[in-house]
Chain A
């Protein structure tokens, strides 16, 4: 079973502060994703990575940046947090080499921006 850990699980921060969320996998899966989940919107892609230092934007990337310096870690940074970024953030890995290999998700980070 793919091991994927998100940290922290909960965070409260103030508007304007930078925030970094971490996603760690214990296997060498190439594709990693950051999603946010909001009521009525489902999961929306923020950024994804297809290898070390290889990343691309998703549909809601404004205000977010990512970095992947090692295969196992994918970091999501909110440069200057806003209240609209209050959400639950999920990291996922694609668990196979086929284009439709399933996504395996972490348990999420609940972020509140006050």
Chain B
């Protein structure tokens, strides 16, 4: 069974601070996705990373896929209250039938 771990589980920071959340597994994934979920809604895709070592930027968010494709990180620069939410990573296997989700990091950015 493929498992994904995320850390930290909870994070509360002040507006303007930087933060990094991590997604780790002992399994190799063909690609990895990050989603953000707000209360009462379903998760929404932020990014897909495919190549080991790949770095993608989405405004103030920087995503990195580990060289061995077993781990990923999400770095947020100058966090804003609008970044508040549950951040989920999802590993995708070779055939895409199953997306394995991590338990999430719940981020709270205080004004």
Bound complex: CA A58 to CA B100 (Å): 10
Query: Contacts A59-B1, A105-B43 given: A100-B33 contact, CB under 8 Å?
Result: yes
The reply on A45 being an interface residue by CB < 8 A is yes
The reply to whether A42 and B103 form a contact with Cβ atoms under 8 Å apart is yes
The reply on B30 being an interface residue by CB < 8 A is yes
Bound complex: CA A45 to CA B99 (Å): 8
B residues less than 8 Å from A108 (CB atoms):
40-42
The reply to whether A105 and B33 form a contact with Cβ atoms under 8 Å apart is no
The reply on A43 being an interface residue by CB < 8 A is yes
Provide the A80-108 mask, 1 if CB < 8 A to any CB of B, else 0.
Answer: 00000000001010100011111111111
Bound complex: CA A94 to CA B97 (Å): 9
A residues less than 8 Å from B95 (CB atoms):
99
**Closest B residue, CB atoms, query A94:** B96
Please report whether the interface of chain B is mostly helix, strand, loop or mixed according to DSSP: loop
Query: Closest Cβ of chain B: how far from A64's Cβ, in Å?
Result: 16
Q: How many residues of A contact B (CB 8 A)?
A: 28
A residues less than 8 Å from B97 (CB atoms):
31, 48, 50, 56
Provide the B41-72 mask, 1 if CB < 8 A to any CB of A, else 0.
Answer: 11111001010000000000000000000000
The reply to whether B103 and A41 form a contact with Cβ atoms under 8 Å apart is yes
B residues less than 8 Å from A58 (CB atoms):
98
Bound complex: CA A102 to CA B47 (Å): 9
The reply on B88 being an interface residue by CB < 8 A is yes
Apart from A31-B96, A40-B9, A45-B98: 6 A-B pairs, beta carbons within 8 A: A90-B42, A99-B92, A100-B30, A103-B35, A103-B45, A106-B42
Interface residues of B (CB under 8 A from A): 1, 4, 6, 9, 30-31, 33, 35, 40-45, 48, 50, 88, 90, 92-99, 101-104
Between A and B, 18 residue pairs with Cβ closer than 8 Å are A31-B96, A40-B9, A43-B90, A45-B99, A50-B97, A92-B42, A99-B30, A99-B93, A100-B30, A100-B50, A101-B96, A102-B48, A103-B33, A103-B99, A104-B42, A104-B45, A105-B44, A108-B42
